[in-house]
Amino acid sequence: MTIGFHTDAFNSAAFSFEKALQWAQGNSVPRIECGVLEGVSWIHGLGYFPHISLTEDPLLLRRKMEGYGVQFSQVDAAYPLSGKDGATWGVSYVLKTIPWAKLAGCPNIAVTDGLHRPEDMSDAEALEAMKRSFGVILETAEAYDINVNIELHGYFTTKPEMLEKMLAFSDSRFLGLNFDTGNTYIAGHDPAEFLQPFIPQVRHVHIKDVSASMAEAARGKDTGIAISHASIGDGVNADGIGRVLVMLRDAGYDGTLSLECEGQGGPLIEKSLRWVRAKLSELGIAETQDR
């Protein structure tokens, strides 16, 4: 498996994307994941935002990343597709991201649903609307050879029975799953039990722990975590993460483990990185370093 990280780790530190690349190089982390911004903003232009704009040239960015020995594992185009504006804003956003990602050398795009049940729509109506949106998205994804991975983050995706329906929207081999250890836990599930029936469809993994205080306040009430302030291994989800890694190992998963936590400018995510590397070694999982 290959270790990566989500640049959300450096939101509060106001890193630029290039500074996140420097952190990746300095810590021998060959994969990076970030959000994409449609258009530009002042905070992005001033270098205080660790994500990228679709206005940036993807080939030139790819060349810069290669200079650091880093590649994209996935880009996050997860505007909620379940709400009334999912078919307009969400689909357009993803369709613009797909060709950009192809040129940037990125094999995966993350998509998701909204945190709450859509207003003025039944579950069945929302699922049917999402199915049509996924049909449009997957037609383009197939043309560009890009995986579209459903991230577990919202009202539908953190319910196994609903997720099963979403993964059955299409028989396209480009429709997969971005499994998230933290969001499944905060939604009230055991991450390993949640993962079991979906292992064959996993294309990308978020490794995220949960603090005891957040678990007490939000478990079973929320469906996702914006930013985890627990270093991986120090939270109440450490055991679940270990069992998920065993299941992925036994299933032959050889993709990216993308670390997600508040990095505090470096120290907290570096602590997370040490824990994950030690856990991989303990479990006999080889860490791929194809820099």
8 A C-beta contact, residue 276 and residue 268: no
CB-based contacts of 241, cutoff 8 Å, min separation 6: 181, 191, 207, 209, 232, 233, 279
Q: What is the predicted pLDDT for the residue at 29?
A: 98
Domains belonging to the chain, first-starting first, are 2-282 (3.20.20.150)
| Distance of alpha carbon 233 from alpha carbon 242, whole angstroms | 9
| pLDDT string in tens for the chain (291-residue length) | 999 999 999 999 999 999 999 999 999 999 999 999 999 999 999 999 999 999 999 999 999 999 999 999 999 999 999 998 999 999 999 999 999 999 999 999 999 999 999 988 999 999 999 999 999 999 999 999 999 999 999 999 999 999 999 999 999 999 999 999 999 999 999 999 999 999 999 999 999 999 999 999 999 999 999 889 999 999 999 999 999 999 999 999 999 999 999 999 999 999 999 999 999 999 999 999 875
Q: 38 CB contacts (<8 Å, ≥6 apart)? A: 53, 54, 93, 96
- The helices-and-strands tally (H runs, E runs) of the chain is 11, 9
Q: Distance between CA atoms of 180 and 185, rounded to whole angstroms?
A: 9
Give pLDDT, residue 289: 85
Is residue 1 within 8 Å of 255, Cβ to Cβ? yes
Using CA atoms, how far apart are residues 227 and 99, in angstroms rounded to an integer? Answer: 28
With beta carbons less than 8 A apart as the criterion, state whether 21 and 66 touch. no
Strand 175-180 and strand 108-111: the pairing is unpaired
Q: Return the pLDDT at 61.
A: 98
Q: What is the pLDDT of residue 120?
A: 86
**pLDDT reported for residue 226:** 85
> What pLDDT is attached to residue 95?
98
Distance CA 31, CA 290 (A): 9
Query: For residue 227, what pLDDT is reported?
Result: 86
Burial class for 121, CB neighbours closer than 10 Å (0-12, 13-18, 19+): middle
Measured between alpha carbons, how far is residue 63 from residues 71, 74, 99, 103 in Å?
10, 17, 17, 11
Tell me the β-bridge partners of 177. 150, 202
Q: Which residues of 67-82 are buried (b: 16+ CB within 10 A; e: fewer)?
A: ebebbbbbbbbbbbbb
